[in-house]
C-alpha cells in the first residue's frame, strides 16, 4: 500500500516537456512559421525566390543586389540598385541618341553603389538650370479657368460638318464599326442592366459591386463623353435623362475614393465641359463633397475607403494589413479636385490635393522612386514596392497631365514627373535578350521581371511628355515610348486571341507572355490601345492604326457575346471562356481610344485636336479648334496639344492681333 501511494515518475514527453511547456513550444513554432510565410508574402513572387540564392541569368558582372534594412536611412542611401538597362532602338538602328543611351548604360554599370543620396543627385542635375523651382510650401495654381472652359465647351456634337460628303474609305469603315460596337454595348446595357453599375452579358442582368458605396449607374456616367464624341445623340440624351432623374447621392455604403473619383466625378466633369449642362456640374460638386471625409487623417493623405453614412474612413484591408494608402489612389485626384474648386469656388478641394503634393515632396524617396504604400498616419513608406503598373500607374500620369492642364504653369508637377521618369528609367527599365524594352517591378532592391497590362499606358504617357522634356532628351523619350508600346503589342501578338494578358514576364527564355493562368485573363482593358492612340497622333506611323484595328477585331471575335462584351479568362485559348462582365471602362476608354485611331485628321476641315485627359487611363475631354481661332489667354493654353498634326515639317503658331493661325501646314 505504501508503494502505491508513491507517485511513479512518468516523462512529460519524449523530450522531457510537460504540457505547459509543449504549449509554449508550439506557440513559438506557430509564430515562427507565420513570420516566415509573411516574409515570403512580402518578397517577390515565390517562383522568383531563387534569385536570392542563384545568380540571375542576365546579371551583369560587378553588380550586386543588396536587400534593404527596412526603416534605416543609411541603409537606403547605400542600397545597391537593381540591374537597369536603358531602352535601345530596334535591331539594326543606331542613331546618335541610342549611342548616347548606350554610353550612359556603360557608365552606370561601372558603379556598384550609389555615390550619394537622391537629393544630392537632384541638386547636381538642377544646378545649371535657370527654371524657377517651387517654393518649399508649394506653388500657387495659376490657371485661367474661363479661357480653359471656353476651349472645351462645344455646342455641336462630333467632329464632322457633313458626314455624307466624306469620301468612302477604309478608315471611315473602321470608325463606323467601332461606333456600332459602342451602340451594341450601350443598347445591351440599357436592355438588361439600365441603372446598375455594370452589365453581366452572359446572365443578362446588372451588377452593382461594392466599390461605389451604393451609387448606381457607373456605366452611364463613365460613358457620357464617349457617347457624345461618337455622335450617338439619342443614346447621350438617354444617359443625360437618367442622370437628371435617377442619379441620387443619398447613399450610405462604403465607397472607393479612387474609383468614385475617376469614374463618377471624372465622367460628370467630362460631360459638363463638353455640353455645359449644369446638371453634370452640380452632381460632380455634391459627390466631391461626400468624398472629403477620406482626407481626415493626421497627414492629410486620404485613406482608400470612405463611409458615406458615417463619414468615417479606412484603408483597404489588403494594403499592408489596413495600414497604408495606395500611391495610384491618392495620387490620382489632382485633376478632378482642382476642377471641383474652379466649378464650386470651394477651395477645400484644391487644398486637399495640394497637401498630398506637399507630403510627397518632403518625404525621402529611395533612389527617387515612389513606393506604392504610404502610411496616412505617419507619412512614411510602408514597403518599398515600386510599380508603374497596378498600385502606382496613374500617379505618374496625373503629374504630366497636371502640368499640361495648368497651361504649363504647374512647374512642381513637371519637376516631379521628369524626376520620377528618370528614376524609373535608371532602376526599372530593362531590355530583354530578345530586344523588348519593359518596365520591371522593384521590391526593396530586387527586380521582378514582369510588366502588367496596366503599365502599358506608359508608352502613351512618355510620348505625351516628350515634347516638354529637355531638348536633348526629347528624341530619346519618343523612341522609348515607341519601344515600350512595341513590347505591349508583342504581349498581344503572342497570344492565341491577339489580346494581352493581365501581366507578362521576361524569364526562362519566354518573353512578353504570362506564365500562370491567374495572369492570363483580359478584362477589356484600354491601356494598350490608348498608347497606340497617342503614338499615332504623335507620329502618324500607320503601324499604330494597324495594331489598333487588330485589337478591335479581336474584341469583336472573342469578347462579343449575344448581350454585350465580356472579358475572357485565358487569352491563350482560342475558345473563349467569358468572365460575364462588361466593364465601365470598356465603353469609357477602350472603345474611345480605339475610335481615335479612325478619326480623320483632314486639314481641309480646318480642325485641330486639343486633348486634355480628365480621367485616368485615357478618359478624354476634348474639343476641336478651327485652324484659325480668336482666343485670349496665355499662349500655352492656346497651343496645348495638337498631336494629330504631322510633324514634318513642324507647324508654327503665328499671331496677328488676337488671331492665331497655324502656318507650315499647307
pLDDT tens sequence across 452-493:
999 999 999 999 999 999 999 999 999 999 999 999 999 999
The Cα–Cα gap between 298 and 372 comes to 19
Task: Give per-residue pLDDT as tens, 179-202.
Answer: 999 999 999 999 999 999 999 999
Average pLDDT over residues 280-298: 98
How much is the pLDDT for 597?
75
Burial readout 558-579 (b: 16 or more C-beta within 10 A, e: otherwise) = bbbbebbbbbbbbbeeeebebb
**119 Cβ neighbours under 8 A, 6+ residues apart:** 364
How much is the pLDDT for 17?
57
How much is the pLDDT for 146?
63
Domains belonging to the chain, first-starting first, are 145-154+168-610 (1.50.10.10)
Q: What is the mean pLDDT of the chain?
A: 77
Give, for 629, the enclosing helix (H) or strand (E): strand 628-630
Instruction: Identify the band that residue 124 occupies on the pLDDT scale cut at 50, 70 and 90.
Output: very low
How much is the pLDDT for 622?
33
**Alpha-carbon torsion 84, 87, 89, 95, what sign?**
negative
How much is the pLDDT for 148?
54
For cell 504631322, the residue is 646
Instruction: Identify the band that residue 602 occupies on the pLDDT scale cut at 50, 70 and 90.
Output: very low
SS3 state of residue 578? strand
Is the pLDDT assigned to residue 14 strictly greater than 70? no
Give, for 662, the enclosing helix (H) or strand (E): strand 659-663
Instruction: Identify the band that residue 32 occupies on the pLDDT scale cut at 50, 70 and 90.
Output: confident
Instruction: Identify the band that residue 84 occupies on the pLDDT scale cut at 50, 70 and 90.
Output: very low
Is the pLDDT assigned to residue 605 strictly greater than 80? no
Is the pLDDT assigned to residue 594 strictly greater than 90? yes
How much is the pLDDT for 171?
87
Is the pLDDT assigned to residue 252 strictly greater than 80? yes
- Give the percent of the chain with pLDDT over 70: 66
The Cα–Cα gap between 408 and 404 comes to 5
Indicate the range of 18-22, 59-63, 319-323, 380-384 predicted with least confidence: 59-63
How much is the pLDDT for 572?
98
Q: Which one is catalytic: 222, 235, 329, 393?
A: 393
Question: Quick check: 502 and 523 in contact, CB under 8 A?
Answer: yes
Average pLDDT over residues 108-136: 35
The Cα–Cα gap between 526 and 504 comes to 16
Q: Which one is catalytic: 79, 198, 222, 259?
A: 259
The Cα–Cα gap between 258 and 381 comes to 19
- Taken as a whole, the chain contains a residue count of 666
Q: Is 259 a catalytic residue?
A: yes
How much is the pLDDT for 168?
57
The Cα–Cα gap between 575 and 577 comes to 7
Q: Is 393 a catalytic residue?
A: yes
Higher-pLDDT residue of 73 and 389 is 389
Residue 640 bridge partners (DSSP): none
Is the pLDDT assigned to residue 564 strictly greater than 90? yes
Indicate the range of 97-106, 210-219, 428-437 predicted with least confidence: 97-106
Q: Which one is catalytic: 198, 410, 412, 502?
A: 502
- Give the percent of the chain with pLDDT over 90: 62
Q: Is residue 411 classed exposed, middle or buried when 0-12, 13-18 and 19+ CB atoms within 10 A define those classes? A: middle
Higher-pLDDT residue of 58 and 552 is 552
Q: Is residue 34 classed exposed, middle or buried when 0-12, 13-18 and 19+ CB atoms within 10 A define those classes? A: exposed
Burial readout 441-478 (b: 16 or more C-beta within 10 A, e: otherwise) = bbbbbbbbbbbbbbbbbbbbbbbbbbebbeeebebbbb
Instruction: Identify the band that residue 149 occupies on the pLDDT scale cut at 50, 70 and 90.
Output: low
Task: Give per-residue pLDDT as tens, 297-328.
Answer: 999 999 999 999 999 999 999 999 899 999 99
How much is the pLDDT for 3?
38
Question: Quick check: 607 and 625 in contact, CB under 8 A?
Answer: yes
How much is the pLDDT for 147?
63
Give, for 614, the enclosing helix (H) or strand (E): strand 607-615
Higher-pLDDT residue of 214 and 132 is 214
Give, for 448, the enclosing helix (H) or strand (E): strand 446-448
Average pLDDT over residues 593-621: 44
Is the pLDDT assigned to residue 88 strictly greater than 90? no
Amino acid at each position: 500500500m505504501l508503494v502505491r501511494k508513491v507517485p511513479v515518475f512518468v516523462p512529460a514527453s519524449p523530450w522531457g516537456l510537460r504540457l505547459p511547456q509543449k504549449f509554449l513550444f508550439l506557440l513559438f513554432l506557430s509564430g515562427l512559421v507565420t513570420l516566415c510565410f509573411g516574409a515570403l508574402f512580402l518578397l517577390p513572387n515565390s517562383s522568383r525566390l531563387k534569385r536570392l540564392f542563384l545568380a540571375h541569368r542576365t546579371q551583369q558582372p560587378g553588380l550586386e543586389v543588396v536587400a534593404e534594412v527596412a526603416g534605416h536611412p543609411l541603409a537606403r542611401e547605400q542600397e545597391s540598385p537593381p540591374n537597369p538597362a536603358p531602352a535601345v532602338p530596334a535591331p539594326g538602328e543606331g542613331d546618335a541618341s541610342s549611342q548616347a543611351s548606350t554610353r550612359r548604360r556603360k557608365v552606370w554599370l561601372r558603379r556598384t553603389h550609389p555615390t550619394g543620396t537622391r537629393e544630392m543627385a537632384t541638386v547636381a542635375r538642377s544646378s545649371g538650370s535657370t527654371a524657377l523651382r517651387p517654393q518649399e510650401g508649394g506653388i500657387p495654381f495659376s490657371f485661367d479657368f474661363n479661357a480653359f472652359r471656353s476651349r472645351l465647351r462645344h455646342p455641336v456634337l462630333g467632329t464632322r460638318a457633313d458626314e455624307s460628303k466624306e469620301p468612302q474609305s477604309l478608315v471611315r469603315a473602321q470608325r463606323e464599326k467601332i461606333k456600332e460596337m459602342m451602340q451594341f454595348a450601350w443598347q445591351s446595357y440599357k436592355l438588361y442592366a439600365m441603372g446598375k453599375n455594370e452589365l453581366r452579358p452572359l446572365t443578362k442582368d446588372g451588377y452593382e459591386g461594392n466599390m461605389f458605396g451604393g451609387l448606381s449607374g457607373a456605366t452611364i456616367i463613365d460613358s457620357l463623353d464617349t457617347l457624345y464624341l461618337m455622335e450617338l445623340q439619342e443614346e447621350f440624351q438617354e444617359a443625360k435623362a437618367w442622370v437628371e432623374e435617377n442619379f441620387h447621392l443619398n447613399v450610405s455604403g462604403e465607397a472607393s475614393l479612387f474609383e468614385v473619383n475617376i469614374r463618377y466625378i471624372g465622367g460628370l466633369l467630362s460631360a459638363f465641359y463638353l455640353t455645359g449642362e449644369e446638371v453634370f456640374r452640380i452632381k460632380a460638386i455634391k459627390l466631391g463633397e461626400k468624398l472629403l471625409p477620406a482626407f481626415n487623417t493626421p497627414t492629410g493623405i486620404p485613406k482608400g475607403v470612405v463611409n458615406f453614412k458615417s463619414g468615417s474612413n479606412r484603408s483597404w484591408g489588403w494594403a499592408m494589413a489596413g495600414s497604408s494608402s495606395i500611391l495610384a489612389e491618392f495620387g490620382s485626384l489632382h485633376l478632378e479636385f482642382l476642377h471641383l474648386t474652379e466649378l464650386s469656388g470651394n477651395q477645400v478641394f484644391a487644398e486637399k490635393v495640394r497637401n498630398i503634393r506637399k507630403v510627397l515632396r518632403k518625404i525621402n524617396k529611395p533612389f527617387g522612386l515612389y513606393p506604392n504604400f504610404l502610411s496616412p498616419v505617419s507619412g512614411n513608406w510602408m514597403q518599398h514596392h515600386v510599380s508603374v503598373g497596378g498600385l502606382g500607374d496613374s500617379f505618374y500620369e496625373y503629374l504630366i497631365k497636371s502640368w499640361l492642364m495648368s497651361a504649363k504653369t504647374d512647374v512642381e508637377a513637371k519637376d516631379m514627373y521628369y524626376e520620377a521618369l528618370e528614376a524609373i528609367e535608371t532602376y526599372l527599365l530593362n531590355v530583354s535578350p530578345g530586344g523588348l524594352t519593359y518596365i520591371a517591378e522593384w521590391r526593396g532592391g530586387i527586380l521582378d521581371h514582369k510588366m502588367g497590362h496596366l503599365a502599358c499606358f506608359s508608352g502613351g504617357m512618355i510620348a505625351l511628355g516628350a515634347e516638354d522634356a529637355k531638348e536633348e532628351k526629347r528624341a530619346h523619350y519618343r523612341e522609348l515610348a515607341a519601344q515600350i508600346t512595341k513590347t505591349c503589342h508583342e504581349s498581344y501578338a503572342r497570344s492565341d486571341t491577339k489580346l494581352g494578358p493581365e501581366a507578362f514576364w521576361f524569364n526562362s527564355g519566354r518573353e512578353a507572355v504570362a506564365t500562370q493562368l491567374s495572369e492570363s485573363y483580359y478584362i477589356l482593358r484600354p491601356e494598350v490601345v490608348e498608347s497606340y492612340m497617342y503614338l499615332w497622333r504623335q507620329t502618324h506611323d500607320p503601324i499604330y492604326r494597324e495594331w489598333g484595328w487588330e485589337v478591335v477585331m479581336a474584341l469583336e471575335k472573342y469578347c462579343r457575346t449575344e448581350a454585350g462584351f465580356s472579358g475572357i479568362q485565358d487569352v491563350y485559348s482560342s475558345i473563349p471562356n467569358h468572365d460575364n462582365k462588361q466593364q465601365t471602362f470598356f465603353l469609357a476608354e477602350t472603345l474611345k481610344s480605339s475610335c481615335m485611331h479612325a478619326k480623320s485628321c483632314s486639314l481641309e476641315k480646318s480642325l485641330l485636336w486639343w486633348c486634355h485627359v480628365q480621367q485616368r487611363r485615357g478618359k478624354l475631354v476634348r474639343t476641336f479648334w478651327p485652324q484659325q481661332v480668336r482666343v485670349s489667354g496665355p499662349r500655352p493654353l492656346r497651343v496645348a496639344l495638337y498631336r494629330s498634326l504631322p510633324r514634318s515639317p513642324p507647324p508654327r503658331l503665328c499671331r496677328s492681333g488676337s488671331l492665331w493661325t497655324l502656318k507650315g501646314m499647307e
